[in-house]
Amino acid sequence: MRFQPLPSALCPLPSDPCFPKGGGTIESLHEIIGVIHIHSIHSDGSGTMPQIIEAGQLADLDFLIVTDHDTLEAKAAGWEGWHERLLVLVGEEVASQNQHCLALGLEAEIGGGFLHRRYRRGHRSADPEPPRRILERIGEQDGLSFIVHPHGRYRPFFSMRSYEWKEWGSDRFDGMEIWSYMFDWVRHFRFYKFRKFYRDPDAQITGPFPETLAMWDRLCRTRRIVGIAGVDAHAKTKRTPFGTLVVFPYKKLFRTIRTHILSQEGFSGQWADDARIVYRALREGHCFGAYDLLSSSEGFRFLLRSECGTAMMGDVMPFCEDAQIEIVVPRRASIRLLRNGKEIRRVEGDSLRFRAKTPGVYRTEVALGGRPWIYSNPIYF
Ligand SMILES: [Zn+2]
Ligand SMILES: [Zn+2]
C-alpha cells in the first residue's frame, strides 16, 4: 500500500509548520502522565470513586480517566475535577455486539444498552445499536472514540467473550487502544499457571499484540489513528481454590501502563480547561504509551525536524528534503524506528538519529532489557 495523504476533512494538512505553534518550543512541552480505561462500581469494577482517586494519588498520576460500561454515572455524581493534584475525568466504555470503544469528552451518555441489563438490575434497554451508529453518536457530541482491546480473545476462566472489533471500515473513530494491560496479561494465561500469573503478573506482560500493531500500521497509512495504552482496571474479586483474590488492585495497576501526553499548554487548575488539554492531545496523537513499572519513560521524545518546521508524534508534516528524525529516551535501551510498519533502524543507546528521505508513517518502539517499554504515536510525513 502506498502512503496516502490524509483526507483533509479528518486531519487537515497544516499550511504552516506543525510546530512550534503559539511561540512554544519543543523543549518547553509539558509532559502529563495518566492512566486511561478504568472501571468503578458504577459498572463492573470493584472500587468506589474515592478508592480509585486515592489509588491514583498514591501512584502520583496527573490524570486518570474512568470509563464505566455504558454509563456516565460517575460524571453525573460530580466526580470530575481536581482532587488535590489529580485530575479526574469520566468517559464511557460503550459496547455493541461485543465490540467496545471508549467515548471521551461526552456531555450526554451514549449508553449502547448492551451491558445495562447486566450492571443495572431491573433496567430495561433497547437493543444495542450497531458499532457504526455508536461511533456516529460519539462524533455528534464532538467526543473522542477509541476502539479498545480490538483483538480480545475468548477466555472462559475470566468470563471473557471474544471482543474482536470488526468495523475496521469505519472512518469515524479517532484511535485505538494498541496496548491493554489486562488483555496482555490474560493472553497467555492457563488455569494451571494461575499461581504464577497471580503472584507475578508483570512477568507475563509481553507487549501489544502483533495483530493489533499490524492493523494500526495499516490504518495509519490512510489517516491519523491515535494509539493509546490502557489498563482496563476492574480490581475484580475472584473466588478460587486458593481463596478470594483481588485481580489487579487499582494502586498496582496505575503504576504499570500509562499514557504520557505532551502539550504546549500546562494545566491551569481550572478542571474544564485542563480536560480540554488532555482531550486535545489525545485527539492529535501527542501522546505515547509506556510500561512505566520497568522504568520511568518521562522525557522520551520523538521528533522530525526539517526546513518546514518540527513535528512531534501525532503531527502531519508535509514532505520536504533534509528531514531528520530524532528519538531520545531517558535511559539506554533498544530503540526501533519503523516506517509504514517495517523496521528501518535499530540501535542500543539513549538516542537515535535518522535522515528521512522518504515519505511515510514513522513511529518508534523501545524495549528495555528485552521487555516492551515505550510505544510512540506516528509522525505522518
Ligand atoms: Zn471492554
Ligand atoms: Zn473496559
CA of 162 to the centre of ligand 2 (A): 13
Listed residue (281, 310, 294, 276) closest to 379, CA to CA = 310
Q: 241: how many CB neighbours lie within 10 A of its CB? A: 5
Residue with cell string 474512568: 66
Which pLDDT band, with edges at 50, 70 and 90, does 237 fall under? confident
Among all ligands shown, which has an atom nearest to the Cα of 92?
A: 2
Which pLDDT band, with edges at 50, 70 and 90, does 89 fall under? very high
Instruction: Name, in order, each residue with C-beta under 8 angstroms of 137's C-beta and a sequence gap of 6 or more.
Output: 110, 129
Mind giving me the DSSP string for 240-304?
A: ETTEEEEES-HHHHTTSEEEEEEESSPP-S-HHHHHHHHHHHHHHT-EEEEETTTS--TT-EEEE
Mean pLDDT throughout 37-47?
A: 95
**Cβ–Cβ under 8 Å, residues 282 and 226:** yes
What is the predicted pLDDT for the residue at 120? 56
Instruction: Please classify residue 60 by burial: count the beta carbons closer than 10 Å to its beta carbon, then call 0-12 exposed, 13-18 middle and 19+ buried.
Output: exposed
What is the predicted pLDDT for the residue at 13? 37
Does 3 score more than 50 pLDDT?
Answer: no
CA of 59 to the centre of ligand 1 (A): 23
Task: State the cell numbers at 17.
Answer: 509548520
Mean pLDDT throughout 336-344?
A: 98
Mean pLDDT throughout 18-35?
A: 72
Phi-psi region of 85 (alpha: psi -120 to 50; beta: other; left: phi over 0): alpha
| Residue with more model confidence, 245 or 340 | 340
| 68, 220, 256, 283, 293 from 374: Cα distances, Å | 26, 18, 12, 19, 11
Q: Cα(177)–Cα(318) distance, rounded to whole angstroms?
A: 27
pLDDT in tens, 241-288: 777 778 889 999 999 999 999 999 999 999 999 999 999 999 999 999
CA of 39 to the centre of ligand 1 (A): 10
CA of 57 to the centre of ligand 1 (A): 25
Which pLDDT band, with edges at 50, 70 and 90, does 112 fall under? low
Domain with CATH 3.20.20.140 in the chain: 26-293
CA of 179 to the centre of ligand 1 (A): 13
CA of 2 to the centre of ligand 2 (A): 34
Domain with CATH 2.60.40.10 in the chain: 299-381
Question: Pairing state of beta strands 30-38 and 63-69?
Answer: parallel
Q: Is the dihedral of CA 232, 237, 238, 243 positive or negative?
A: positive
Task: State the cell numbers at 315.
Answer: 503531527
Among all ligands shown, which has an atom nearest to the Cα of 67?
A: 2
What is the predicted pLDDT for the residue at 157? 62
Query: What are the φ and ψ backbone dihedral angles of 143, each rounded to 5 degrees?
Result: -85, 170
CA of 64 to the centre of ligand 2 (A): 14
Using a pLDDT cut of 90, give the percent of the chain over it: 72
CATH homologous superfamily of domain 26-293? Metal-dependent hydrolases (3.20.20.140)
CA of 72 to the centre of ligand 2 (A): 14
Among all ligands shown, which has an atom nearest to the Cα of 234?
A: 2
**Cβ–Cβ under 8 Å, residues 284 and 274:** no
Mind giving me the DSSP string for 135-190?
A: HHHHHHTT-EEEE-STTPPPBGGGTB-------TT-S---EEEEEEHHHHHHHT--
CA of 184 to the centre of ligand 2 (A): 13
Does 73 score more than 90 pLDDT?
Answer: yes
What is the predicted pLDDT for the residue at 158? 63
Candidates 2.60.40.10, 3.40.190.10, 2.40.30.10, 1.20.1250.20; correct CATH number of 299-381? 2.60.40.10
Residue-averaged pLDDT of the chain: 88
Among all ligands shown, which has an atom nearest to the Cα of 165?
A: 1
CA of 37 to the centre of ligand 2 (A): 6
Residues with CB under 5 A from ligand 1 (ion): 100
Question: Pairing state of beta strands 243-247 and 226-230?
Answer: unpaired
Which pLDDT band, with edges at 50, 70 and 90, does 115 fall under? low
Mean pLDDT throughout 338-352?
A: 98
Among all ligands shown, which has an atom nearest to the Cα of 160?
A: 1
Residue with cell string 532489557: 369
Q: Cα(338)–Cα(352) distance, rounded to whole angstroms?
A: 12
CA of 127 to the centre of ligand 1 (A): 18
Does 315 score more than 80 pLDDT?
Answer: yes
Residue with cell string 470513586: 49
Q: Which of 2-6, 54-58, 68-72, 254-258 has the lowest mean pLDDT?
A: 2-6
CA of 326 to the centre of ligand 2 (A): 35
